[in-house]
Amino acid sequence: MRHTGPWLRAAEGAMLLGPDGVPAPTVFAEMSALAASTGSVNLGQGFPDEDGPAEVLDAAVQAIRDGVNQYPPGRGTADLRLAIAEHQRHWYGLEVDPDQEVLVTAGATEALAATLLALVEPGDEVITFEPFYDAYGALIRLAGATHVTVPLTAPDFLPDESTLRAAFSDRTRAVLVNTPHNPTGRVLPTEVLRIVVELAERHDAVIITDEVYEHLTFDTALAPHVPVATLPGARERTVTVSSAGKTFSTTGWKIGWLTAPPALVIAITTVKQYLTFVNGAPFQPAVAVGLRLPDTVFAGIAADLAAKHDVLAAGLTAAGFGVHRPDGGYFVIADTAPLGYEDARPFCLELPHTAGVVGVPVSAFVRPDHAAGYRSLVRFAFCKRRSVLEDAAARLATLSGA
């Protein structure tokens, strides 16, 4: 039914409705539906097709059996908040007060939503790099703010320093950083992050940093993950967001969290308590188990993902795509231009029929009027079983007649 009432004005303003007046599906939902209806290999939506550490899964089963099935405390269970604080100290040397500086959320998505709704006023500007994860654009608009973007352009997907500096002004209320970055896979270099901190300080802006792929980096010597909050001057103005979904292959559990100074946590909790209030009681102790697993388990998860990347990247290269190597995360960007295509969106709509594979056009992560530099690019997910990636590679090989 076409939406005609006044109810979704904010959504309409936020361009979240399709041309027919009904909610437009996200590109991930659209592409997963296309994969299902065509029987294609789904390298579109980023979710693993294998379970993560057994200790984490067992702890959730045990918690359900032990009766941990009612509302958890508003800020998250005390033990999970402690595990998050221990994790920040162990991995990054960050001291975080588990009672005042940690908030457990319904995935990173709720952490981002509550943060933007709490800290940003209509008319404020929020800066992100572009391409950006789709929820950023939607949430910034739902908060009534203006979205200012700084391009990350191929082949290296790094920002131009003067463009980054020019994006900031005294209207800037927040800068939302994502490293390792979805969709490009870039770990943002520390020099770039330092400039962001310098500019945020100068313009008194909050830094929101989405680090959901923090443990999924492929070369810790060449491109180590540096949490923004560890940089001088950052901690007191930074909201760090993460999630269990990517690291432990539990995207359906929707357990995320944020760490921030106490005053920011209070403001964000005020909003969060009226979004979901709380979520995932039996999953919270399980994620605490995950966060306390030995370093070797985290290294193994990253190494396994790097090997999966290599299988898919080799397949894409053999099929004739231009391939941009990611530093981390679930995704690789492939250029269709060497195969003779100009626009990846029709290519992605055709691909399930021609090769039985689904990917997401990178144009879905940029504003329509900024699509020019990204038009021929596709994002493929490699967080899948090796056999599935090999199957996808074999299917893609037919494109070049190889």
Contacts to ligand PMP from residues 311-370, by CB under 6 A: none
Among 41, 118, 133, 186, binds ligand PMP (CB under 6 A): 133
Q: Is 107 a binder of ligand PMP (CB under 6 A)?
A: yes
Q: How far does the chain reach from its first CA to its final CA, in angstroms? A: 46
Among 30, 125, 130, 210, binds ligand PMP (CB under 6 A): 210
Residue 198 sits at φ, ψ, to 5 deg, of -60, -45
Q: 3-class DSSP state for residue 361? A: strand
Q: Is 209 a binder of ligand GLN (CB under 6 A)?
A: no
Among 250, 251, 259, 284, binds ligand PMP (CB under 6 A): 251
Instruction: Give the integer Cα–Cα distance in Å for 69 and 282.
Output: 6
Nearer CB in complex with ligand GLN: 256/320 = 256
> Smallest distance from the beta carbon of 46 to ligand GLN, in angstroms?
3
Q: 173-192 mask for ligand GLN (x: CB under 6 A)?
A: ---------x----------
Q: For the chain, how long is the longest CA-to-CA vector?
A: 60
Residue 151 sits at φ, ψ, to 5 deg, of -70, 145
The answer to whether the CB of 100 falls within 8 A of the CB of 307 is: no
> Smallest distance from the beta carbon of 131 to ligand PMP, in angstroms?
11
The answer to whether the CB of 207 falls within 8 A of the CB of 234 is: yes
List the single partner that 131 binds among ligand PMP, ligand GLN, none, CB under 5 to 8 Å by kind.
none
The strand ranges marked E within 93-224 are 102-106, 125-130, 146-151, 172-178, 206-210
List the single partner that 321 binds among ligand GLN, ligand PMP, none, CB under 5 to 8 Å by kind.
none
Q: Alpha carbon of 306 to those of 114, 162, 187, 302: distances in Å?
A: 33, 33, 14, 6
Contacts to ligand PMP from residues 25-64, by CB under 6 A: 46
> Smallest distance from the beta carbon of 53 to ligand PMP, in angstroms?
17
> Smallest distance from the beta carbon of 111 to ligand PMP, in angstroms?
8
Q: Is 242 a binder of ligand GLN (CB under 6 A)?
A: no
DSSP alpha helices (H): ranges in 230-380? 244-247, 262-272, 283-291, 295-318, 344-354
DSSP class of residue 44 equals: S
Minimal CB distance residue for ligand PMP: 107
List the single partner that 107 binds among ligand PMP, ligand GLN, none, CB under 5 to 8 Å by kind.
ligand PMP
The answer to whether the CB of 211 falls within 8 A of the CB of 227 is: yes
Nearer CB in complex with ligand GLN: 223/383 = 383
Count the site residues for ligand GLN by CB under 6 A.
Answer: 5
Both tokens assigned to 56: 């984490």
Nearer CB in complex with ligand PMP: 200/212 = 212
The strand ranges marked E within 9-153 are 41-42, 102-106, 125-130, 146-151
Minimal CB distance residue for ligand GLN: 46
Residue 42 sits at φ, ψ, to 5 deg, of -90, 95
List the single partner that 359 binds among ligand GLN, ligand PMP, none, CB under 5 to 8 Å by kind.
none
Among 42, 45, 178, 284, binds ligand GLN (CB under 6 A): 45
Residues in the chain: 402
Among 11, 16, 24, 28, binds ligand GLN (CB under 6 A): 28
- Residues with Cβ within 8 Å of residue 349, at least 6 apart in sequence: 34
Instruction: Give the integer Cα–Cα distance in Å for 174 and 119.
Output: 8
List the single partner that 108 binds among ligand PMP, ligand GLN, none, CB under 5 to 8 Å by kind.
ligand PMP
Residue 147 sits at φ, ψ, to 5 deg, of -95, 120
Applying CB under 6 A, the span of 196-204, 251-259, 284-292, 340-348 interacting with ligand PMP comes to 251-259
Instruction: Give the integer Cα–Cα distance in Å for 45 and 60.
Output: 25
Among 26, 62, 153, 317, binds ligand GLN (CB under 6 A): 26
Chain residues binding ligand PMP by CB under 6 A are 46, 107-109, 133, 178, 182, 210, 212, 243, 245, 251, 254, 256
Q: Which residues bind ligand GLN (CB under 6 A)?
A: 26, 28, 45-46, 182
